[in-house]
Amino acid sequence: MKRIGKEKASWGKKAGWMLAAAVLATGTVWGAAGGAPQVHAAAAADFTDVKSTHWAKSSIEAGVAKGYVDGYTNGTFKPDASVSRAEFVKMVVAAMKLEVKETSGKWYVPYVDAASAKGWYAAGDFANNEAAWNKTMTREEMARVAARAIGETSKEDDKWMYLATKAGLIQGVGKGQLAPQGLTTRAQSVVIIERILTANAGGKLDSDRYATGAAEILWHGTNIFTVMPEKFVTPESDWKSKGKSSVEEMWNEKNMTITSKDGLYQGKLEALIAIDLDDKNDPNRSLLPLDKLKWFNGYENMNKNLLISKEKGNYLLYFKGKQVFNKDTKKYINRGYVPFRVRGFDSPNEDLMYSKNKLNGIAPVYVNDDIDTPAVIIPKTGTVQQDRIAIQLVTPGGGQLKTDIDVLSLRGVQ
């Protein structure tokens, strides 16, 4: 049984099905009276292909009752049929009851005009022509329209999926799976539109945390603000003074690549991935051998028994990256990852940590030696901030050769 609220992935559907084929196959009347495609069908409860257990049944019934979508003359709804960009925009405009002005052009033009006036479609999204509007809408494009329809704004095109998932408009097609280029179906469309209407009416939507985390990584290369937001708290003035719209925008994606001053070394952070070690379903647990990882308490004679699996209430920060080039191995140490530093999550009592093996502050993790795994463990509670909160990349050279750059720098709440 599929869980209600999860959009079913549409794979193997070809974009832009011919409208004529749809007419021949279903009896649908397209472009009636010079307007949008019209479909005539029985009541929603009678759709032969929408069983009582269908994940989108309640949304389909609601959409039909409100009149912005209908079924087919043969008594079906075709929930898995793909939806064009024009069809989706038409449904959203109709559901939102926007004013639509008659035109003599293509059926979709009045709806596109209405959507454009509200800012739901912009010329930079894709070409404003018949071929483009007849293409099947992707989930990423659906997320953009949906987020705009509840008032979200962004100048970054790869941020829309994050905004939509965070708001609860879009959920994953699997645990932590987004399928941004997956094709939009009729069932997905109606579910998303119902969520848009709920959000605009002040209702509360449940968000898919795993999907939101994946969307955050897709946006700017980290999921820390989704998985562990309480650890990256800072006064609003900190980010507003820098012209940012939220604390998430303090992450500097441009600084995820570091180059030494002499140009002989370069490292790249591909993603900073936070893992909730208490969540057995966290989709990123498989990225590291968690059952073998140990935390380093600061002593040279490392205690081999400090397995992180024995600890409770912690996050793991995994620096997934690589050395791009190293043109002088005498100056810079060869490593399979880019060195890093994390500030702001210190132990309140280092003696307990060092001599009593009490994990009460940030610590490196390892399998065999203390530099073999590019990750750190951070307790969820009990740490103190002795300095600013910072995530930095560092060149692997000593003395004057060592340089660092901030990927994130927050004042924090010292």
Q: Check residue 354 and give its pLDDT.
A: 86
Q: How far, in Å, CA of 395 to CA of 389, rounded?
A: 20
Task: Give 19-35 as a DSSP string.
Answer: HHHHHHHH--B-SGGGS
Structure confidence at residue 18 as a pLDDT band (50, 70, 90): very low
User: Residue 349 carries which side chain, given as an amino acid letter?
Assistant: N
In the predicted model, what is the mean pLDDT of residues 101-126?
A: 94
Q: Are 147 and 163 in contact (CB under 8 A)?
A: yes
Structure confidence at residue 41 as a pLDDT band (50, 70, 90): very low
Structure confidence at residue 16 as a pLDDT band (50, 70, 90): very low
Judge whether residue 17 has pLDDT over 50.
Answer: no
Q: Are 351 and 283 in contact (CB under 8 A)?
A: no
Model pLDDT for residues 213-256, shown as the tens digit of each residue? 999 999 999 999 999 999 999 999 999 999 999 999 999 999 99
| Nearest residue to 320 via CA among 361, 366, 246, 270 | 270
In the predicted model, what is the mean pLDDT of residues 194-212?
A: 97
Q: Check residue 46 and give its pLDDT.
A: 82
C-alpha distances (whole Å) from 190 to each of 30, 31, 62, 112, 113 are: 19, 21, 9, 18, 21
Model pLDDT for residues 296-336, shown as the tens digit of each residue? 987 665 667 899 999 999 999 999 999 999 999 999 999 98
- What whole-number percentage of the chain has pLDDT above 90? 78
Residues across the chain: 414
What DSSP designation does 82 have? B
Q: How far, in Å, CA of 213 to CA of 76, rounded?
A: 36
**CB < 8 Å & 24+ apart, contacts of 402-407:** 403/258, 403/260, 403/261, 404/258, 404/341, 405/255, 405/258, 406/252, 406/255, 407/251, 407/252, 407/255, 407/256, 407/269, 407/272
**Which residue bears the tokens 């539109």?**
193
Judge whether residue 15 has pLDDT over 70.
Answer: no
Q: Check residue 399 and give its pLDDT.
A: 84
Helices assigned H by DSSP within 97-168 = 109-117, 130-133, 139-149, 160-166
Q: What is the maximum span of the chain, computed from C-alpha positions, in angstroms?
A: 82
Q: Check residue 140 and give its pLDDT.
A: 96
Structure confidence at residue 24 as a pLDDT band (50, 70, 90): very low
What average pLDDT is seen over the chain? Answer: 88
Structure confidence at residue 22 as a pLDDT band (50, 70, 90): very low
Three-state helix/strand/coil letters over 52-81: CCCCCHHHHHHHHHHCCCCCCCCCCCCCCC
- As a whole number of Å, the CA-based R_g of the chain is 26
